[in-house]
Structure 1
Amino acid sequence: MTCVVQLSAPWREPAEVLSAFAGEPWALGLVTGGTGARWSYVARAPSATLTHRAGEAGQPFARLRDLLGPPAAPATDGPPFQGGVVGLAAYELGDHVEALGLARQPDWPDLAAARYDALLAFDRRAGKVIAVGRAGDHDTAQARARAALGWLDAAPRAPRGGVLAGPLQASDAAAYEAAVEEVVARIRAGEIFQANIARAWTCALAAGVQPFDLFARLLDQSAAPFAAYLRLPGLALVSNSPERFLQVREGAAQTKPIKGTRPRGADPASDAALAAELLASDKDRAENLMIVDLMRNDLARVCAPGSVKVPALWALESFANVHHLVSTVTGALSPGRDALDLLAAAFPPGSITGAPKVQAMKVIAELETPRGPYCGSLFWAGADGGFDSSVLIRTAACVQTAGGWRVEARAGAGIVEGSDPHAERLETEAKIAALANALTEAPPA
């Protein structure tokens, strides 16, 4: 039997609370921004952790299931996530789904996960904070909830002003356009239908600046639906992702792939024109539809026959720097299947690989260096079977060095037969703009 205790407190901004202990290993923030935002989470001091690197013994998905533990009955009220596992799945975790012999970045594991039996859930709609404690008995669960409530008493760190990093160094533009040309040629030769090809930007954080400062700046300037911060020993992930990968609630599965992009306009008229252009684009619709079909196939591997549907196709969603086409695919998990089965069936996300997925991944491996966290997923898996996850785009991978923090961020574009190399390069620059501005521009006084 599992007991869950929930204690309430007045509203606080989640980033403000997280700032007090953001430098601790395994400090965590999942912050929902944008229209309709409700639940966010902050956690620290996990009960158990898991790090799996290439070549280590054991199967990472099986180790993840062991970390989560036996299923527990869902609580009747409270936040969707009431304790369980939060994990960072690097793109190369896909090598454990299809053995492709992918190279790895030296710093990042394939999987880093932790079990949090105490957390703070922030209900923006109700204007309150809920401290959650989970344990096998009521007294321990209550003690954990009270400990989490005590995190609210820590003094917050003041927001960082000024410029956070030196100039961004972009990978070679001509080389990227040449890679797009090669992918187009391989599509015309019949090898693949689509591949998502990315380019990289790197920089060093300024003296004294921490990865959390970038996270706080992004929340202030362009908060996204799946903003996230995870501190690992010597590493930090800062994500401002707009894209859901997989969600499971009471056996109902959902994915919302993004394909199709236009920059935001300088004024309302040009902005509306760019949005209309995207909605009318046959090329972008075809790109989106390919990935919808791929995700339908991935969900069908673990969903009941006939249950996979597409309730929304080519919906327009607008963010700080870009408009996107977003579709929704749903399904009902088959009896005996759960969210971790779905994760293994669908990883890595189809929207950032291509179609067919395995061959597209082979092409990506030829044209890019190992991705690490970029285009992987950050997820939470509740002990009660609930699950939610993002696609790690608009994400900074931060590595601590003797001289400070170095940062890598990437942005990609889905390449199809009709792709123009120059236009695809400009699309990557539109996608990286919010992250680049947060790093290299001082906020208004």
Structure 2
Amino acid sequence: MSEPGPKNDRTAAGSAALPTIRELLSTDLTIESAIGCFADCDGLLVFDSADADRPGASQAGRYSFLTADPVRRFDLQHAEYGTDPFAELHQLSEAIAMCEPGRHLPPFSGGLAGVLSYELGGCFEHVRPARIDEFGFPAMTVGLYDWAIVWDHTNDSVESIVHDFGASAAVPQSMSAEARAEWIRRRVSAESNFAALPAASASQIEPDPSVLHPHAEIANVFSDHPAAEYREAVGRVIEYIRAGDIFQANLSQRLLTPFRGDPLNFYSRLRTGNAAPYAGLAHFDDWWLLSASPESFVQLDGRDVVTRPIKGTRRRQLTPEADLGVRIDLECSEKDRAENVMIVDLLRNDLSRVCTDESVRVPKLCRLESFATVHHLVSEVTGTLNKDRTLWDLLAATLPGGSISGAPKVRAMEIIGELEPTVRGPYCGNLFYQGFGGQAAANILIRTILCRGGWAQLPVGGGITMLSDPQAEYQETIDKAVGMLAALELV
């Protein structure tokens, strides 16, 4: 175990150097205990490689990050077609880029980070959202952060990193770097542990009665689609496919359950029972977002872009023999492979809008990957960003993700808005960061729960193709919900 103590590493002063303070922390500081230390802070964000110890876990799972208390916030309540939701972030990114940090920093040690909703795609595509929105989740919530705690799972180290913006008018800090470093020390010390969560908000959201149907199989759970209605919606998607409107669409149902518990205990159970490489947590205002996502949306390193769509799911089985059987079934499934390939083609097209044409490649197609509760087929599409393009251009070209909308994307989004009665909010949106070194990453917020106003909301869905069986598609949504329902102690 490394001993806690200061290891101040101020970047040498240069014309554009961004000074930093780096301190090693005790490796006894786990992600869960650190969340407790900052639970009362607004803007708490965690990027959690919760399956870093999984056999075959990728390099993407090397780091986990925690930050809170942003120096600036950028909020957009509603998406409006034709507007640029990233206008201020474009300008701020340019200002930050002039303050180049020291070398050898992890991908995120502060920078821009937050949550993008599925409905934010309405800024880029002229599509009406679903008709019911009781939870009022913002289209976008982003913070500018001057610090982070970083877990390096490869080197088994934990450190805090604080950046000093100095007198920059673009990024005014609420406290000096030295004061911020001391604030972190106090927070993580044994004498100042905020493991007891502040009292939950007294506000109560009243779900629309027209979309509050008791679930036939799970007590104390409600759906916006009764089972028969969901199967009918699958049939409608198949009719649209036969008519030539689309090749596939991602259809979901929203599950709700009353929730007045402790989100931190809930997240602890979720990340333990559903370890995933792109898990995370966000807490702003009166809402908590808890995710055990297995899916990366985009990663940007310099100009190199990677996206890893998931299509194809089977529930893990109790015995090795049965588990092998469902693995083979998934790998041989014509329907699932066709679904995956269609989304790969869509993402190739999306990346070609902002990447050099000759650079877009598919190095991996329909590879089977296994997670705590399910097996998935995963592909990989890569490209090289054009020199005049930025992360924000990349997001504008690709939101919402093809794997959770459909192909062609715009028509699929229109059909989703027609058949799903409630807005998705954070579900199928993104938890993202852009670090000071220029690296960026975003997940797809699936296997994700929103806690707000006395309810836990956990939507689940799947891709519908010509070969879909309505009952099998309904069962797939339940399979995807099992891990979250278990964390809520409902199954």
For normalisation by structure 1, the TM-score amounts to 0.92
CA shift at 1:274, angstroms? 0.3
**Pick from 133, 155, 162: which aligns with 2:193?**
155
Residue identity matched to 2:468: S
- The question of 1:65 aligning with 2:81 is answered no
- What residue is the counterpart of 2:445 in the other structure? 392
Cα offset for 1:137? 4.3
Matched, 1:15 2:32: yes
Q: Matches of 2:470 and 2:24 in 1, distance apart?
A: 53
**Which residue does 1:406 correspond to in 2?**
455
- Tell whether the 8 Å contact from 1:166 to 1:205 is kept in structure 2 after alignment: no
Contact 2:222–2:256 (CA under 8 A) maintained in structure 1: yes
Return the match for 2:227 from 173, 176, 180: 173
8 Å Cα contact 1:339-1:386 kept in structure 2: no
Moved more, 431-440 or 336-345: 336-345
Q: 1:15-71: per-residue Cα shift (whole Å, max 9, x none)?
A: 111113324321121111212332111111110111101278973111332454521
Match of 1:162 in 2: none
* Residue 425 (structure 2) pairs with residue 372 (structure 1): yes
Contact 2:39 2:195 in 1 (8 A): no
Could you tell me which residue of structure 2 aligns to residue 81 of structure 1?
108
Which residue of structure 1 aligns with residue 180 of structure 2? 144
Task: Name the residue aligned to 2:464.
Answer: 415
> 1:187 aligned to 237, 241, 246, which one?
241
Name structure 1 gaps, 5 residues minimum.
160-164
Which amino acid is the alignment partner of residue 391 of structure 1?
Answer: I
Q: Give me the identity figure in percent.
A: 38
Range that drifts further, 291-300 or 51-60: 51-60
Which residue identity lines up with residue 32 of structure 1 in the other structure?
A: S
Match of 2:300 in 1: 248
User: Aligned residue for 2:4?
Assistant: none
1:296-307 → structure 2 map (5 Å cutoff): 296-307=348-359
The DSSP-based 3-state class of the residue aligned with 2:70 is coil
Q: Pick from 283, 308, 329 the counterpart of residue 335 of structure 2.
A: 283
What is the DSSP-based 3-state SS (H/G/I as helix, E as strand, rest coil) of the residue aligned with 2:37? coil
CA spacing shift, 1:55–1:337, aligned 2, 3 Å: closer
Q: Are 2:67 and 2:110, in contact at CA under 8 Å, matched by a contact in 1?
A: no
- What is the alpha-carbon distance in structure 1 between the residues aligned to residue 220 and residue 384 of structure 2? 47
Q: Distance in 2 between matches of 1:408 and 1:67?
A: 33
- Give the AA of the match of 2:86: F
Secondary structure at the aligned position of 1:330 is classed as strand
1:4 matched to 2:32? The reply is: no
Q: Which moved more, 1:370-379 or 1:220-229?
A: 220-229
Separation of aligned partners in 1, 2:86 and 2:309: 23
* Match of residue 258 from structure 2: 204
Whether the 8 Å contact between 2:278 and 2:296 is mirrored in structure 1 is yes
The answer to whether 1:220 aligns with 2:272 is: yes
Partners in 2 of 1:113 and 1:32 — Cα distance? 21
- 1:50 pairs with one of 57, 62, 74: 74
Q: Distance in 2 between matches of 1:361 and 1:391?
A: 16
**Contact 2:79 2:121 (C-alpha < 8 Å) held by counterparts:** no
Q: Counterparts of 1:372 and 1:322 in 2: how far apart (Å)?
A: 24
**Mean CA deviation greater in 15-24 or 336-345:** 15-24
Q: Partner of 1:19: helix, strand, or coil?
A: helix
Asked if the contact 1:84/1:381 (under 8 Å) is kept, the reply is: yes
Moved more, 8-17 or 28-37: 28-37
Match for residue 144 of structure 2? 115
Q: How many residues align?
A: 431
What's the secondary structure of 2:463's corresponding residue?
strand
1:428: Cα distance to partner? 0.6
CA distance in 2, matches of 1:216, 1:348: 28
**Cross-structure match for 1:105:** 133
Query: Which residue pairs with 2:121 in the alignment?
Result: 94
Spell out, residue by residue over 1:241-268, the C-alpha distance to the aligned partner (whole angstroms, 9 max, x if none).
Answer: 0000000012110000000011111210
- Separation in 1 of the partners of 2:166 and 2:347? 41
Q: Which whole-Å CA distance do the structure 2 matches of 1:413 and 1:58 have between them?
A: 30
Of the candidates 162, 183, 189, which is equivalent to residue 133 of structure 1?
Answer: 162
**CA–CA separation in structure 2 for the residues paired with 1:415 and 1:166:** 27
- CA distance in 1 between counterparts of 2:183 and 2:38 reads 14
Alignment correspondent of 2:489: 440
Give 1:151 deviation, angstroms: 2.7
Partner of 1:343: 395
Q: How big is the shift at 1:158?
A: 7.1
Letter in 1 for 2:292: N
1:363 equivalent to 2:415? Answer yes
Counterpart CA distance in 1 for 2:38 and 2:165 is 27
| Cα distance in structure 2, aligned partners of 1:293 and 1:149 | 48
- Deviation string for 1:228-250 (max 9, x for gaps)? 11111111111110000000012
Q: Is the 8 A contact 2:128 2:414 kept in 1?
A: no
TM-score, L = length of structure 2: 0.84
Report deviation, 1:342: 0.6
Deviates more, 1:275-284 or 1:352-361: 275-284
Measured after TM superposition, the shift of residue 175 of structure 1 is 0.5
Amino acid at match of 2:343: I
Unaligned runs of 5+ in 2: 1-15, 168-174, 198-217
Letter aligned with residue 377 of structure 2: L
Shift of 1:128: 1.7
Mapped to 2, the partners of 1:190 and 1:386 lie a distance apart of: 40
Give RMSD over aligned pairs: 2.2
Question: Which residue is 1:425 aligned to?
Answer: 474
Read off the aligned partner of 2:220 and give its amino acid letter. P
1:414 Cα shift?
0.3
